[in-house]
C-alpha cells in the first residue's frame, strides 16, 4: 500500500512540475509576443508621426541631356527638410537639401533611363512621392 501511495505522490509531483514548466513556457511566449508587437507599434507610430511633419511636392520635371531635373518644394506647414532620399533603379541616393518651409530646390537624376523613381524624407520610405518622367503622384 505504501508503494502505491509513493507512486501516486511521485506521479502527482511529476505532473505538477510538468504543469509548471508548460505554464512558464506559455507565459514567456505570451510576454515575448506582447513585447514584439509593442515595439513594432511604437516604431510604426513614431515613424508615422515624424514623417507626417515632412510635406513637400515634386514638380516641374524636365530632361536636360540624359539628366532628369525636378523641383522639390517644401510646403509652408512642414518641418525643415534636411535630407531627401531618391530611390531610382533600386538604389537609394541621399541628397542634403536643408530646405525650410516655403523654399524649393532643383534636383536631378543623372543618366536617367526612364524608370520610375521615389522621393522621400530620410526614414520615411512608406511616405514616398512616386514619380515617372511624365509626373508625380
Q: Are residues 48 and 63 in the same domain?
A: no
- Stated as kind and residue range, the H or E segment containing 63 is strand 56-64
Euclidean distance between CA atoms 51 and 122, whole angstroms: 9
Domain that holds residue 92: 55-136
Q: Are residues 78 and 17 in the same domain?
A: no
Q: Are residues 44 and 60 in the same domain?
A: no
What is the pTM (predicted TM-score) of this model? 0.67
Q: pLDDT digit string (tens) for 54-105?
A: 889 999 999 888 899 999 999 887 788 899 999 999 899 999 999 999 999 9
What is the structure's pLDDT at 86?
A: 94
Q: Are residues 77 and 119 in the same domain?
A: yes
Q: Are residues 68 and 19 in the same domain?
A: no
Do 82 and 96 meet the contact criterion of CB atoms below 8 Å apart? yes
Measured between alpha carbons, how far is residue 63 from residues 14, 60, 84, 105 in Å?
78, 10, 20, 16
What secondary structure letter does DSSP report for 31? H
Q: Are residues 65 and 120 in the same domain?
A: yes
Written as nine digits, the cell of 89 is 533603379
Amino acid at each position: 500500500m505504501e508503494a502505491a501511495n509513493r507512486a501516486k505522490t511521485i506521479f502527482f509531483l511529476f505532473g505538477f512540475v510538468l504543469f509548471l514548466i508548460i505554464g512558464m513556457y506559455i507565459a514567456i511566449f505570451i510576454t515575448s509576443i506582447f513585447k514584439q508587437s509593442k515595439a513594432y507599434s511604437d516604431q510604426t507610430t513614431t515613424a508615422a508621426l515624424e514623417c507626417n511633419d515632412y510635406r513637400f511636392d515634386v514638380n516641374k520635371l524636365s530632361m536636360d541631356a540624359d539628366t532628369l531635373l525636378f523641383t522639390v518644394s517644401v510646403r509652408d506647414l512642414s518641418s525643415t527638410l534636411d535630407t531627401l532620399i531618391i530611390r531610382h533603379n533600386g538604389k537609394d541616393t541621399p541628397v542634403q537639401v536643408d530646405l525650410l518651409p516655403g523654399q524649393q530646390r532643383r534636383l536631378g537624376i543623372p543618366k536617367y533611363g526612364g524608370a520610375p523613381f521615389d522621393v522621400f524624407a530620410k526614414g520615411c520610405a512608406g511616405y514616398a512621392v512616386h514619380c515617372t518622367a511624365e509626373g508625380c503622384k
